[in-house]
Amino acid sequence: MDSGGTVTSEIPVYFQHNRGFIYDVEDYLTLRFTHRIAGNLIGVPASKPRNSHVFGLPAALSAYELKLALEKGLVALVDRTSGLERDPDDGLRQQYEELVRRQVVEQKAPVVEKRIREFRSYLPKIVEGKRKKMLKSGVKEEDIQIDPEQLIAEERRKVEAMEFDRLIQIPMEHPLNIDRAITEFDLPGDHDRLKYRVFRDIWEKQNVYISGGDAFGCDFLLYPGDPLYYHASHMIHVLADADHRLDVKYMIRCCRLSVVVNKICVFAYAQRDTGDICYQTVEWEGNVGNEF
């Protein structure tokens, strides 16, 4: 909600330890599939908590992804630090107690319904057993009146009064209404700002996904589609100074590594006179058709 009281469509990104995190699954899917901002899943999925190869929410956005999303008005950066560091007041304690009570009811309801379904399946045998027991105790047949619905109601009261084992729920997002503030974010150094300009330029002009390239010794990796389904096609190296003579050994290392991992090597730089972002593709002689 903005200062005018109107509801905005910006996705809340929570600012913690100088990083932006997304905890809501719908918000994350919107960023990933609609805006091509994939982030990095760093959490443990509830369905596979012991699998070290599969990750879940929260998703951490890189500094460049966060800066881009903020500039495009896709997200709002929320800082809850002050609310989390302060001791909870009576209102927050009541919220938490109500949350725990609601969780107990939500966990108990399916167990009660399952027991009642089982009770209903055995209800004819239960009614017949009660009838025989009453006959043995001397009650006349015509005086026996057994109401099945009354038996079900009694069983429900008995089951609801029983204690059940509870599951401890660990929320992905803070469940209470604590203080929050909209904060700003910027990149610290000139080279990081240049990298961001390259990141933004590619994101705006190419229909690709962009991720960090640390694993391949470059600045960015480009994917022709979602990284879940595609391998990276390009390695982007951002040159800090376009006028500086490029070290031959550095260029050879970049090119040979790109060949080994079957990717195209691209050098990105900003022209000194115009400031435009330019790209230079380097590949072995004879390879054609791999233009960026």
Provide, rounded to the nearest whole percent, the portion of the chain with pLDDT above 90: 45
- Residue 263 is a catalytic residue: yes
Give me the pLDDT at residue 278, please: 93
Q: What single-letter amino acid sits at 144? A: I
pLDDT in tens, 238-247: 998 877 677 8
What pLDDT is attached to residue 130?
Answer: 87
Average pLDDT on 267-291 reads 80
Q: Is the pLDDT of residue 1 over 70?
A: no
Is 136 noted as a catalytic residue in this protein? no
The DSSP bridge pattern shows strands 209-212 and 181-182 to be unpaired
Q: Which amino acid is at 26?
A: E
Average pLDDT over residues 223-230: 95
Q: Phi, psi (5° rounding) for residue 56?
A: -135, -165
pLDDT at 44 over 60: yes
Residue 32 confidence (pLDDT) above 60: yes
Q: Spot the catalytic one: 195, 234, 237, 263.
A: 263
Task: State pLDDT tens for residues 165-190.
Answer: 777 776 666 777 666 667 788 888 89
Rounded to whole angstroms, how far apart are CA atoms 187 and 175? 31
- Which segment of 78-87, 126-135, 216-225 scores lowest on mean pLDDT? 78-87
**Catalytic: which of 67, 223, 237, 269?**
223
Helices first, then strands: H and E counts in the chain: 9, 11
- pLDDT at position 214 is 93
To the question of pTM greater than 0.85 for the whole model, the response is no
Q: How would residue 291 be classed by pLDDT, with cut points 50, 70 and 90?
A: low
Q: With b meaning 16 or more CB within 10 Å and e meaning fewer, what string describes 175-198?
A: eeeeebeeeebeeeeeeeebbbbb
The per-residue pLDDT for 286 is 58
Percent of the chain with pLDDT over 70: 90
Winning range, highest mean pLDDT, from 45-59, 218-232, 273-287: 218-232
Is 251's pLDDT higher than 80? yes
